[in-house]
Structure 1
């Protein structure tokens, strides 16, 4: 349905009437079954999620809107018959589509008016236009993240929860987890029995109904504890404040709907886990004596979480919390979390600020205020920290008072602005409103929530991989249009985020995150799917390319780090060529004991790398490689060049880098004239193939097996035996 010309208020009024119809709750059950259930057979794959990216389905915020309107009247559980239910369902889709079009049309009114006048709009995104992405944008978190983070976030409030609510965080999680498990089991039985499409609406509704007695029996918790959890999360009242999109909708905070017959309805696993994660903030905020303590706990959670996830990537010895930056005797700045890896740093500034209801409704001043407190302030503080670190007069101390060793040189400092909650349209707001300054060292800030940081640390669980993505994302800051950062990460995992300079802007569809969602679900929920998304993390497993990357991470010197970052920008084909080249020069060095090399130009054609396999390294070999790299860099008119010396078993012996911009030199012109054409991968492979067609070596020649011994003392057959001679390159 296109734009009908009706306003949001007119469509909303029709929705109020529709949701008040007798038995409308059965329509909700069918909608949830159609649009929220994921079924799979055998392996769980991205194709099983394809319907979740269908623009015709209702997303969770739309379903919660229908629920919020329905509960404005007493819940009518009478079954109106399947034909009436289907009519309710069809009308719901029509009206929700019309509502979306009504909201979207207002986004373009101003732009169209300016276009008619022949002028460009001063700015497209403002309070009115941001309402649409705030409401219809994707979720920040996976449901299992809300579930798994709940204990860490609220266990410190257990004493208050037991006293005022009658349960602790672990018990609340048990109840929610069991209800979700029961929902899964029921859905599986329903599908096995013939599918949710064929089932009657009243049968479908039963999948979402729960009693405290049943949950108590299945969890082993006392009935009083289960009832206490139910009471805390059960809707009461008439949702009187919910009059339009953006208003407070009580169903979001209390997703259990009482049926009036001793049971409750829960239509979404996501809803109960999100409510557990979010609602205690509001409960405790109403206690004047505990309010500040609860706020302190929230702030501590963000810092603790960031440290935990970053330490899993970089190692605990490289990650620090509450770092005081001193200039003289004064604390000039403080970093919530600091990572030091080689000559790179990450500064994390965390802010526990939510987007207010006024901002969600399009109040432009409130949007700006919320963003300033949650994001802009963190970015500015990160810049202050970076400036102090680079001042040359800084000493750093962690939260235990131990001094942190300052790197001899600092190549890059990355800033991360971190929030602990779902912040609607965060990626869009950051791209539009964030103001920042950069230098050659201080990079543009990255804005994220704890849920994205968790996924980044899970999938890019090595320092080089993590930092490489951060560098690529910062570089692509102004070139990408995405609704959520999980989409960007999904794209990167599939085919690398390195963007060709010829592109000015790229839009990424949300479906790029589907393989990532499968992998996270397999890891956190144990679903039978691939643990790693197909792409850059799987294509080169077991190759010499991966072995090289692993060594760079173990020895993050400035030269090797820079090389590692460039290697991680390579395409799949270039990675395979690199593996083949390394295989060739190491095989030749093992056979003849001589030094062999090959050269590879990197993706940007402004950088290159020469690999040298040296079976008998000497100081002169390093000097020779240094001289060759300088000459090859000049001859190639490159700005950056790397030289890497490796042993026959592919261990890095030394690495060097030259990153001075190319400048013409008469002396180097003469040197370049005498240079032979660099041995690329193809030429190196041909040389290896020729060498392997040689016949049996002499008794005193080096053995073909690569041991380094003479043939007569190694594989020379005895008079009664025989030995293989030449092989063929696989």
Structure 2
């Protein structure tokens, strides 16, 4: 007999009963230690971080749910017996799995025969099906981002903090970090001490306990300051906990995560306290009728200013413009751009928003989900699209905050629209795939939806215009093909492997654990660890190779040809770069030996483009004509959309000349006659695969000798 699935409310009610059981806080402490604590010897390694992605671990939102349910009644700190504690743990994990199945049920139930016949069927557009990715999508920010961004986010609100809370934002961060460091040092001591105790006395809860006096001695901070900060984020008996009736309801313990018992305090998840520091003050401002509007203005200002600063770190201040108004011929305001970047023949139009996902939306209300998305993302994109279109029309004026005209190029090869939100927006990329309505043109690319946390990490590692633009170009190119729960996984894959999807693949899913190398590198940079600060991959592998040196020489050059050359090289695989570099080395030796002109031509299947490289000591005039003619000929024979040519000094291998041909291919009788005797390129290079000889059919036996069909083996 088939087992009937219980309702979510039934399971949630049973979970609440166990969470309010005698001594259950010791079970939560166990989960926090097991699933939130990273253990390592000298420095963390990728393997250490990989353990954090185990599906056997609870995610932080699940643990927060347990804490929220526990605090609905007075907490009993009695230490349960080992058997009772083990029963709590096993029962909790079983109930959480059952709840997950309940959240998955609406989507699974939608896979009915009649729905599957509909080619427009999408199970994720219904609100109840979106609750699962919203709850289980994980965090978008690193804990240190919440810490560091809070200082920037509230710098204009410091007077309010000092007058109403008795401390500055920086002082609050100092206290919170001191609590964290104290717990980090205390937990191993508690763990070590358990070895000397009977199993009946085992508990890790004291590792999460502290007093004001202990923090004072540990940090040398003022006792009153410590108390004021703790009181600001302390869960009170007066806080309404009765409305926490489902996973999607507001959990007050997330906003006030510190628990008090007598003179002792407990902080079970340090991440939650940093997140509260970043988000809870907004609600304080909303309760202050006199300061409410100022707090709202500062919040919006932070998103724009932060985005501009991160883009300035990549492109430089002179190429980044903020708060640009667009006026038509009559002098009427047509639109405005929050942040504009113009580099060579590329532009970035960034629109910033500060919209949060409402409780009603988290509960699966279709109308509220779509309404929140429209206000937080769709409206920003629509404005970005309008601005991108007007940006190409020179009859519209661009005016800065000082009322001055902005003189920038108005002719672009590509325009990228970035929509940036300031807070954690659950399942942002997932919702964008389901709901965002957008269009593309030959110039305006697909939009890139992100939060400030992702923008920060992209700018941290792709810190030159060329690397940054190349990634944005690649990410938007694959906007419909590439899927991941977290954008960080996609960025991490790019840094390691160079983001590339074969043309025949229509869907690629990346798992979260791909981001471990990126996690470790950003931790090392922001937390001053000695671990590898740059993932091994595109930023490290080709540094000493010829094309790597070419990239280094042009990555900041504001020149369309340099950008296109950089895009082409960054589009190549390591094998391709090796082959071209080896080819140039060979030609350089020949040129040094005979003093003659030598050249190399490769064509790329994907992207319908190619590269011709000349090595000679001829004058620029002769070299230029020769290079131009060769590129025109090769572009024609390959029927390519574009072709790039370089002329190198055979002694130093420095770039003497560069040319870029971009125009539609048309048959020409004169060119047909001219290219009759031209030898074909010996190979075509796909950026990821070198193809030699005849093409192997998908259904032929694989040449590796396995006996399998090629499509089932090496393909």
The correspondence of residues 499-514 of structure 1 with structure 2, limited to 5 A, is 499-514=501-516
Give the one of 634, 637, 653 matched to 2:636: 634
Other-structure match for 2:695: none
CA contact (8 A) 1:545 1:575 kept: yes
CA distance 1:533–1:269, change in 2 (3 Å): same
Deviation, 1:83, is 2.4
- Measure how far apart 1:546 and its partner are: 1.7
Q: Are positions 1:645 and 2:644 aligned together?
A: no
Instruction: Tell me which moved more, 531-540 or 450-459.
Output: 531-540
Distance in 2 separating the partners of 1:515 and 1:603: 31
Give the superposition deviation at 1:326: 2.6
Write out aligned runs for 1:449-598 (5 A): 449-598=451-600
Shift of 1:672: 1.4
Task: Check 1:386–1:530 CA distance in 2 against 1; reply closer, same or farther (3 A cut).
Answer: same
Shift of 1:395: 2.6
Q: Aligned ranges for residues 31-110 of structure 1 at < 5 Å?
A: 31-110=31-110
Residue 394 (structure 1) shift:
2.5
Match of 1:671 among 670, 674, 677: 674
The corresponding residue for 2:294 is 293
1:161 matched to 2:164? The reply is no
Separation in structure 1 between the aligned mates of residue 545 and residue 463 of structure 2, nearest angstrom? 18
Contact kept, 8 Å, 1:127 with 1:362, in 2: the verdict is yes
The count of residues paired between Structure 1 and Structure 2 equals: 679
Query: Is contact 2:620–2:657 with CA below 8 Å preserved after alignment?
Result: no
Q: Deviations over 1:509-537 (max 9, x none)?
A: 11111111111101101233211112222
Alpha-carbon RMSD across the aligned residues, in angstroms, is: 2.3
In the alignment, what sits opposite 2:610?
608
The residue number in structure 2 matching 1:274 is 275
CA distance in 2, matches of 1:630, 1:564: 20
| Helix, strand or coil at the partner of 2:675 | helix
Q: Deviations over 1:90-143 (max 9, x none)?
A: 111111111111111122223337459x65674312110000000011211011
Matched residue SS, 2:186: helix
CA distance in 1, matches of 2:606, 2:195: 52
Q: Secondary structure of the residue that 1:258 maps to in structure 2?
A: strand
Does the C-alpha gap of structure 1 residues 174 and 605 become closer, same or farther in structure 2, counting only changes over 3 Å? closer
CA deviation profile, 1:60-80 (whole Å, cap 9, x unmatched)? 000000000000111111112
- For residues 516 and 196 of structure 1, the distance between their equivalents in structure 2, rounded to whole angstroms, comes to 39
Q: Conserved in 2, the CA contact under 8 Å of 1:284 and 1:291? A: yes
SS at match of 2:80: coil
Instruction: Write out aligned runs for 1:651-666 (5 A).
Output: 651-666=654-669
Structure 1 counterpart SS, 2:660: strand
Partner of 1:19: 19
Query: Could you tell me whether the CA contact under 8 Å between 2:26 and 2:203 is conserved in 1?
Result: no
Matches of 1:73 and 1:283, distance apart in 2: 25
What is the CA–CA distance in structure 2 between the aligned matches of 1:301 and 1:162, rounded to whole Å? 19
CA distance 1:199–1:569, change in 2 (3 Å): farther
Tell me: CA distance 1:492–1:194, structure 2 relative to 1, closer, same or farther (3 Å). Answer: farther
Decide which moves more: 452-461 or 45-54: 45-54
CA distance in 1, matches of 2:196, 2:269: 16
SS for the counterpart of 1:404 is: coil
Q: Show the counterpart of 1:248.
A: 250
CA shift digits 1:564-593 (9 cap, x unpaired): 112111011011122223333344434443
Q: Provide the residue aligned with 2:233 in structure 1.
A: 233
Contact 2:30 2:203 in 1 (8 A): no
Consecutive unaligned residues of structure 2, counting only runs of 5 or more, are 686-715
Asked if the contact 1:178/1:218 (under 8 Å) is kept, the reply is yes
Q: Give the conservation status (yes or no) of the 8 Å contact 1:428–1:483.
A: yes
Q: Do the aligned partners of 2:61 and 2:138 also contact (CA within 8 Å) in 1?
A: no
Q: Secondary structure of 2:108's partner? A: helix
Matched, 1:224 2:236: no
Per-residue CA distance 1:598-645 (angstroms, 9 max, x = gap): 112235172210111233433011101110111112222322211011
Aligned partner of residue 507 in structure 1, secondary structure: strand
Q: Which has the larger radius of gyration?
A: 1
Q: Distance in 1 between matches of 2:198 and 2:39?
A: 15
What is the rounded CA distance, in whole Å, between the counterparts of 1:137 and 1:637 in structure 2?
A: 45
Pair 1:547–1:199, CA change in 2 (3 A) = farther
How far apart are the structure 2 equivalents of 1:481 and 1:196? 49
Change (3 A) 1:200 1:445: farther
Rate the CA distance shift 1:587–1:400 in 2: closer, same or farther, 3 A.
farther
Distance 1:391 1:330 in 2: 15
Partner of 2:303: 302
How far apart, in 2, do the equivalents of 1:201 and 1:168 lie? Answer: 41
Deviation at 1:464, TM superposition (A): 0.7
**Residue matched to 2:442:** 440
Call closer, same or farther: CA 1:170–1:617 in 2, change over 3 Å.
same
Indicate yes or no: 2:361 matched with 1:362.
no
User: Which is further off, 385-394 or 340-349?
Assistant: 385-394
Q: Secondary structure at the match of 1:207?
A: helix
Partner residue in 2 for 1:411: 413
The structure-2 alpha-carbon separation of the partners of 1:121 and 1:100, relative to structure 1 and needing over 3 Å to count, comes to farther
Tell me, in whole angstroms, the C-alpha distance in 2 between the residues paired with 1:431 and 1:294.
32
SS of the residue corresponding to residue 600 of structure 1 reads strand
1:476-509 Cα deviation digits (max 9, x unpaired): 0111121121111111112121211111111111
What is the rounded CA distance, in whole Å, between the counterparts of 2:51 and 2:366 in structure 1? Answer: 34
TM-score by length of 1: 0.89
**Structure 1 residues not aligned, in runs of 5+:** 683-730
Is 340-349 or 429-438 further displaced after alignment? Answer: 429-438
Cα deviation, 1:16-38, whole Å, max 9, x if unaligned, reads 11011111000001111111111
TM-score, length-normalised on structure 2? 0.91
Change beyond 3 A, Cα 1:340–1:166: same
Give the match for residue 212 of structure 1: 212
Find the aligned partners of 1:212 and 1:425 in 2 and give their Cα distance. Answer: 38
Whole-angstrom CA distance in 1 between matches of 2:73 and 2:196 = 28
Q: Distance in 2 between matches of 1:605 and 1:345?
A: 21
Instruction: Name the SS of the counterpart of 1:554 in structure 2.
Output: coil
Cα pair 2:187 2:208 within 8 Å, conserved = no
Q: Per-residue deviation at 1:212? A: 1.5
Alignment of 1:684-703 (within 5 A): none
Residues 43, 528 of structure 1: 8 Å contact kept: yes
CA distance in 2 between counterparts of 1:5 and 1:662 reads: 62
Provide the C-alpha distance between the structure 1 equivalents of 2:436 and 2:178, rounded to a whole number of angstroms.
Answer: 42
* Distance (Å, rounded) in 1 between the aligned partners of 2:128 and 2:463: 40
Instruction: Assess, with a 3 A threshold, how the Cα gap between structure 1 residues 587 and 617 changes in structure 2: closer, same or farther.
Output: farther
Question: Does the Cα contact within 8 Å between 1:299 and 1:351 map onto a contact in 2?
Answer: yes
SS in 1 for 2:380: helix
Kindly indicate whether the alpha-carbon contact (under 8 Å) linking 2:353 and 2:377 is maintained by their aligned counterparts in 1.
yes
